[in-house]
Structure 1
Amino acid sequence: MRLLNNTSNPIFSNYFWNDRKTANAKMTVSGILIKTFLMLTITTTIVVGVWKLHTSGTNIKWFGTGGMIAAIVISIVLSVRQHWAHFLVPLYAVAKGFFLGGFTAFVKVHYPEMPYQAIGVTIITFFTILFLYQTRIIVVTKKVRSVIITVCSAIFLVYLISWILSFFGIRSFIWGTSWIAIGFNIVAVTFAALSFLLDFDFIERYKNKAPKYKEWLACYGLLVTIIWLYVEILRLMKKLAIRF
């Protein structure tokens, strides 16, 4: 039953919410959304900058890999140094900007409008899920949490195994354009979007209770989910474009 109190997003685990000391300023939903918007602006700006460098002929081969490695290191440090979140999260946004810039630049060469379309779909999905949650059209029950957590964990496991196999020269089915690969992407996109429900629900439980600085931790969690959703949408759109 304890598992049901967690979300599919690791940053929203109970570890980050154990400190409930009294403070004058408390975490608010508006504060989280403002910080998330600012971080997404930073990430988007970096992505556009990398695109321009690529267009001018600059070799950005290592931008994506470097950004990913930096994001992983920052995430590890953040997991043990919560009070550094106010400058680690912006650094994470920058790192992810380089990762997404490198990742999407090559897609943009063959499909110039696709990254913009993926961004649009991601934004629309985010606000749609937020609306559904706020209006209680979708209610987050224990059963709903359990299903989303289980499927998201399975998706993560598949990606992990595929990544390990790549070191042995084995190409996983999920990277192809078969109907199975496309179906997997559709499931990933769906549950990336649904994981917002768990994040919103968890934030709502601690609003006006947790210390103000934890807005940065919640912002980081939303940023992780938003970027995951964007990447899955872009991959799905690319596969459909190649397939058809």
Structure 2
Amino acid sequence: MAGGNPVFDRLNKQIEKERYAGFGSPQGSPHQQAQHGTQAASTGYATQDAMTARQLNEMYAQPPAGPADTGRVTVDDVVIKSLTLFVVTVAVAGVSWFWTAANTDMTLPFWLGGMFGTLILGFVIAFMKKVSVPLLMVYAVLQGAFLGAFSQYIASIPKYDGVVQMAVLATLCVFVAMYVGYATGFVKVNDKTRRMFFFAIVGYGLFSLLQVVLLMTGVISGWGFGGSGGLGIVLSVLGVGLASYSLAIDFDTIDNAVRVGAPKKYSWLLAHGLIVSIVWLYIEFVRLFARLRD
């Protein structure tokens, strides 16, 4: 997921290839344009007549072009795109919640369809060379369908009453805490922690995939390995920890993308990665609280 972030890896390669810092063009700011015009004027060509002293003064008085003016990623871009994907996901989750509550036989199709759909589409999005907004929207829809069915199923079990609400609140609190921790420097993200996180997430991902296969084939049951015992709770705590640090990785990736002047189109992928981490954290909290209830 976000640990070996294909978005940021792609940004690094693109930056080295095309030098995106300011895009390397002379139209980066009015000051640069004015200097260019002055140099041309000093040669005695027709530019001298086209660029008057008043026009030069007006250009110097204008503020430098910002990231938004030059087509680069800004924090505002990522926030807007994140809210867009979040609203789509939550809206579809709401529809899925009420639909599966009224039609319980649709719970499994929504659950499995959303889960495997996002898994397959996630790989497609990660390795595509182009940013496809429609695919990101489809992913958000499938993710919402899964979330609604999964949450409704958990809420329908009497002993898990309140678990969904607790998971939502816990996810919100951890998101805020991780952002504050990252912004203040308390939570560190560097190349070493990224590498450690990458290997941890690969191992956890393979473990989770194996668990899903064994659950579907009936080899294991319930919450999977460890059940609701001590081992199961430890595994859930590990999942919560990895999902929480994934948020810090996302925050750092967004900061780096803004700092190096990545193309604006990548704001959609950065937003996508952030929403995926939030959903992952929510699911891990549901599993943890349900195990504790058992």
TM-score under structure 1 length normalisation:
0.86
- The match for 1:48 is 94
CA drift of 1:211 comes to 0.6
| Alignment length (residue pairs) | 237
* TM-aligned CA distance change 1:7 to 1:105, over 3 Å: closer
CA drift of 1:126 comes to 1.1
Structure 2 matches for 1:1-244, cutoff 5 A? Answer: 8-15=3-10, 17-20=12-15, 21=18, 24-57=70-103, 59-60=105-106, 61-110=108-157, 111-166=160-215, 168-171=217-220, 173-174=224-225, 176-207=227-258, 209-242=261-294
CA drift of 1:167 comes to 5.4
CA drift of 1:150 comes to 3.1
* TM-aligned CA distance change 1:91 to 1:13, over 3 Å: same
* TM-aligned CA distance change 1:216 to 1:41, over 3 Å: same
* TM-aligned CA distance change 1:212 to 1:71, over 3 Å: same
| Amino acid across the alignment from 1:222 | L
CA drift of 1:90 comes to 1.7
| Amino acid across the alignment from 1:41 | V
Larger radius of gyration: 2
1:207 aligned counterpart, secondary structure:
helix
CA drift of 1:16 comes to 5.3
CA drift of 1:35 comes to 1.4
Q: What is the CA–CA distance in structure 2 between the aligned matches of 1:165 and 1:55, rounded to whole Å?
A: 27
Question: Once structures 1 and 2 are overlaid, which stretch shifts more, 187-196 or 30-39?
Answer: 30-39
User: Gaps (5+ residues) in structure 2?
Assistant: 24-69
Task: Answer whether contact 2:11 2:262 (CA < 8 A) is retained.
Answer: no
Q: Which has the higher contact order (CA 8 A, sep 6+)?
A: 1
TM-score under structure 2 length normalisation:
0.72
RMSD of aligned residue pairs (Cα, Å):
2.4
* TM-aligned CA distance change 1:174 to 1:28, over 3 Å: farther
User: Gaps (5+ residues) in structure 1?
Assistant: 1-5
| Amino acid across the alignment from 1:105 | Q
* TM-aligned CA distance change 1:171 to 1:223, over 3 Å: same
